[in-house]
Amino acid sequence: MRKTQKKIALINDFSGFGRCSLTVSIPIISAMGIQCCPLPTAVLSNHTGYEQYFFDDYTQSMIPYYTQWEHLGLQFDGIYTGFLGSYEQVEIVLDFIRRFARPDTVVIVDPVMGDDGKTYDTLTPRLCRELVRLAQRADVLTPNVTEACILAGVPYRADLCSLQELQALAETLSGQKEKDIIITGVEQNGEIGTFIRRRSGDCEYFSQPLAGPRRAGTGDVFASVVAADAVCGRDLRNSVHKAAAFVADGIRLSEELQIPPQDGIAFEMLLSRLIPENAP
């Protein structure tokens, strides 16, 4: 059988500094052997966790941009979506999926909506409703606890961490289309946990000691590793463990290098760990 390379469309913002979004996903997914095709939703000088930033909204350019891909006859093995700043962008992404997703295309949705029980300033009620629609279209869904609660329409609790509660939350998120659901950021007793619900209904929870303070872009790093493995059909459990370990090692290294938390994690020095063993 002829050997081919997987191709994935990355729909997210481009932040020039701060290690998040496309500037994280492109190198990580590329290191894992997959061709990256970015579709920017906005261009920023640095992410919005800094006091000041330049911002250029790309909403009006997204459809003309990917219409050219359609003219080229491009097809994708995966479609991975991250931060979307408006309900208009969600509809554009749903249109993109309708145009480009084949029956075997894996749709990975990282629903960037909030954290620590708080929503981001951009999350309006209408945007929230549209993101619920997008989440239902996912084959792989990667919310943190806050985002899972928002999508499921249940109140957030800081102590929402029992296996029964997490399983009920994941089952609500599965909706009418079975999907793999990974709920991240479950903090308890000095550890950070991850809950997995496979589309088969099987569930698993694991945790590891907190590697350091919270840092920008760790969700993007985690979801990028998961997205690359999903497109390649790799085992979900192994993928999630690999992603969690990669993030933890990146946090520890960043602490050693005294990198400010808002500058993200120094994943660049660890990329060689993600290169597949059978790479040419």
Average pLDDT over residues 185-207: 92
> Residue 280: pLDDT above 80?
no
pLDDT of residue 269: 96
- Write the CA distances from 267 to 44, 108, 211, 272, 274, integer angstroms: 20, 21, 14, 10, 11
- Which CATH number describes the domain made up of 7-270? 3.40.1190.20
User: What residues contact residue 158 under an 8 Å CB cut-off, 6+ apart?
Assistant: 117
Confidence grade of residue 163 (pLDDT, cut at 50, 70, 90): confident
d(CA 69, CA 253): 39
Q: Sketch the domain layout of the chain as residue ranges.
A: 7-270
pTM: 0.95
Q: Is the CB of residue 18 less than 8 Å from the CB of residue 265?
A: no
Percent of the chain with pLDDT over 90: 87
Per DSSP, the chain holds a count of helices (H) and strands (E) of 8, 11
Task: Calculate the average pLDDT of the chain.
Answer: 94
Virtual torsion, Cα 39, 42, 47, 52, nearest 10 deg: 160
pLDDT of residue 191: 92
Closest CA to 140 of 170, 102, 95, 185: 170
d(CA 241, CA 235): 10
Average pLDDT over residues 68-79: 97
Average pLDDT over residues 146-160: 91
> Residue 159: pLDDT above 90?
no
d(CA 24, CA 38): 12
Average pLDDT over residues 242-268: 97
pLDDT tens track for 13-53: 999 999 999 999 999 999 999 999 999 999 999 999 999 99
pLDDT of residue 1: 56
Average pLDDT over residues 262-279: 92
d(CA 254, CA 247): 10
Helices (H), the chain: 22-31, 59-71, 87-100, 125-136, 145-152, 163-174, 218-231, 236-256
Edge to edge, the sheet with strand 35-44 lists 55-57, 35-44, 7-15, 78-81, 106-109, 140-141, 180-188, 191-197, 203-209
> Residue 64: pLDDT above 70?
yes
Angle at 167 between CA 203 and CA 126, to 5 degrees: 120
d(CA 272, CA 260): 23
Q: Is the CB of residue 158 less than 8 Å from the CB of residue 117?
A: yes
Angle at 265 between CA 260 and CA 271, to 5 degrees: 150
Q: Is the CB of residue 212 less than 8 Å from the CB of residue 258?
A: no
Q: Is the CB of residue 136 less than 8 Å from the CB of residue 176?
A: yes
pLDDT of residue 254: 98
Strands 114-115 and 7-15: unpaired
Buried b (16+ CB within 10 A) or exposed e, 98-111: eebbeeebbbbbbb
> Residue 145: pLDDT above 70?
yes
What is the DSSP code (8-state) at residue 277? T
